[in-house]
């Protein structure tokens, strides 16, 4: 799974949490913005700058991480030798306008994704609609499962002998507390966590995504932020996937080849350039996530259908201008939100 292919929204933040037990977080790294856009990229300074005889004193691990982040920012700056122009659509009636903007939930540090066209929409919008919000912090990966359920064996016992050696080697790279947390996870989310950790072991550095910045910006400017779905229900629906299918995902995550930085970043570059065509890297192919495709219905199909119903309802009942921002993979290809809206007779206009 690439950055865009990971299941959407902050409801999956448990994967970030377990990865954070392994590597120092790099979310919120300062980004070098060009003359435009004008809305500032968030910058975070070091918590403390302790010096000794004029020399900055910091742990070697922090120094190493800082060097890695700076190298990554330089690599991304060199790769982004194009005009940033992500896709935006619009649906409207006489008193309501809804802008639809696909996002990437985690971006490389220093990645540019905003342009004046998008910022004009951000400034114009009365409210922000997301998949999930910071208020969903009480959502866990055990939603829908019996309370205190301890029926799942350790991960090593959930994979066939063919993959146990590879899983044991990966676990040997992790702190014991990370291994213990993963052993308590449903198999499908442990598979996603393994994907995150394997990418990080290959040098991938996570930074905040577009959703995070948008939510912070709208809250800072006093505008309402709302979730389009109930994250607990979504998690419970995915937890209902048969365990056999989940274990196929687990083995698939272990069998997947290692990916380079360029492979991981390809969807983000396509997104930033507005590439939503039939061969776009933004398209989510469920068979890559789960060989049995059991996850496709609760992760994509059900949610896309529900979102379309919600958006049509808002057109009828909620006057004003709304920015709806959700994972870009939901807006590309057949049976996407865009496709389903058009099938319902809603005029969808691409405005960027």
Residue pLDDT, tens place only, 321-336: 999 999 999 999 899 9
Q: 202: domain range?
A: 10-39+49-350
Work out the pLDDT band at 9, boundaries 50, 70, 90. Answer: very low
Residue 208 backbone phi and psi in degrees, to 5: -65, 150
Query: How far does Cα 323 stand from its chain's mean position?
Result: 18
Percent with pLDDT over 90 in the chain: 47
pLDDT digits over 48-57, tens only?
555 566 666 6
Residue 130 confidence (pLDDT): 95
Q: Please indicate, yes or no, if residue 3 is contained in any of the structural domains.
A: no
Least confident of 117-126, 263-272, 277-286, 319-328: 277-286
Collapsing DSSP to helix, strand or coil, 66 comes out as: helix
Q: Please indicate, yes or no, if residue 2 is contained in any of the structural domains.
A: no
pLDDT score of 114 more than 60:
yes
Q: Please indicate, yes or no, if residue 150 is contained in any of the structural domains.
A: yes
Q: Please indicate, yes or no, if residue 4 is contained in any of the structural domains.
A: no
Percent with pLDDT over 70 in the chain: 77
Contact 139, 230 (CB under 8 A): no
* Residues contacting residue 110 through CB under 8 Å, at least 6 positions apart: 29, 31, 32, 72, 73, 74, 76, 77, 207
Q: Please indicate, yes or no, if residue 1 is contained in any of the structural domains.
A: no
Q: Please indicate, yes or no, if residue 181 is contained in any of the structural domains.
A: yes
pLDDT score of 23 more than 50:
no
pTM: 0.81
- Strand-pair partners of 89: 100, 350
- DSSP single-letter state for residue 230: -
Highest mean pLDDT range out of 38-52, 127-141, 328-342? 328-342
* Residues contacting residue 64 through CB under 8 Å, at least 6 positions apart: none
* Residues contacting residue 117 through CB under 8 Å, at least 6 positions apart: 85, 88, 351, 352
Q: Please indicate, yes or no, if residue 106 is contained in any of the structural domains.
A: yes
Q: Please indicate, yes or no, if residue 62 is contained in any of the structural domains.
A: yes
Residue 210 backbone phi and psi in degrees, to 5: -65, -35
Q: What is the count of structural domains for the chain?
A: 1
* Mean of per-residue pLDDT scores for the chain: 82
Residue 26 confidence (pLDDT): 31
pLDDT score of 180 more than 80:
yes
């Amino acid at each position: 799974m690439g950055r865009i292919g990971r299941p959407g929204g902050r409801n999956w933040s448990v994967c970030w949490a377990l990865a954070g037990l392994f590597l120092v977080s790099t979310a919120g790294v300062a980004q070098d913005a060009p003359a435009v856009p004008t809305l500032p990229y968030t910058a975070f300074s070091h918590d403390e700058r302790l010096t000794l005889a004029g020399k900055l004193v910091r742990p070697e691990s922090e120094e190493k991480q800082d060097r890695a982040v700076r190298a990554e920012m330089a690599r991304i700056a060199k790769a982004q030798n194009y005009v940033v122009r992500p896709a935006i659509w619009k649906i409207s009636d006489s008193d309501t306008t809804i802008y639809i903007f696909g996002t990437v939930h985690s971006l490389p540090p220093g990645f540019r994704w905003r342009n004046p066209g998008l910022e004009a929409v951000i400034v114009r919008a009365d409210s922000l609609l997301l998949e999930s919000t910071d208020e969903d912090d009480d959502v866990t990966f055990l939603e829908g499962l019996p309370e205190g359920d301890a029926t799942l064996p350790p991960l090593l016992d959930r994979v066939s002998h063919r993959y146990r050696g590879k899983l044991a080697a990966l676990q040997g790279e992790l702190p014991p507390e990370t291994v213990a947390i993963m052993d308590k996870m449903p198999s499908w989310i442990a598979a996603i966590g393994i994907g995150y950790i394997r990418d990080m072991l290959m040098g991938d550095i996570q930074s905040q995504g577009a959703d995070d910045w948008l939510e912070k910006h709208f809250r800072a400017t006093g505008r309402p932020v709302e979730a389009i779905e109930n994250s607990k229900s979504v998690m419970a629906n995915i937890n209902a996937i048969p365990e056999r299918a989940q274990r196929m995902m687990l083995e698939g995550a272990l069998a997947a080849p290692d990916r380079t930085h360029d492979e991981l970043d390809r969807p983000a570059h396509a997104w930033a350039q507005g590439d939503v065509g039939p061969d776009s890297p933004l398209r989510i192919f469920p068979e890559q996530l789960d060989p049995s495709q059991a996850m496709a219905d609760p992760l994509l199909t059900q949610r896309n259908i529900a979102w379309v119903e919600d958006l049509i309802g808002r057109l009828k009942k909620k006057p004003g201008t709304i920015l709806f921002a959700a994972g870009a993979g939901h807006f590309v290809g057949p049976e996407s939100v865009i496709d389903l809206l058009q099938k319902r007779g809603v005029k969808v206009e691409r405005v960027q």
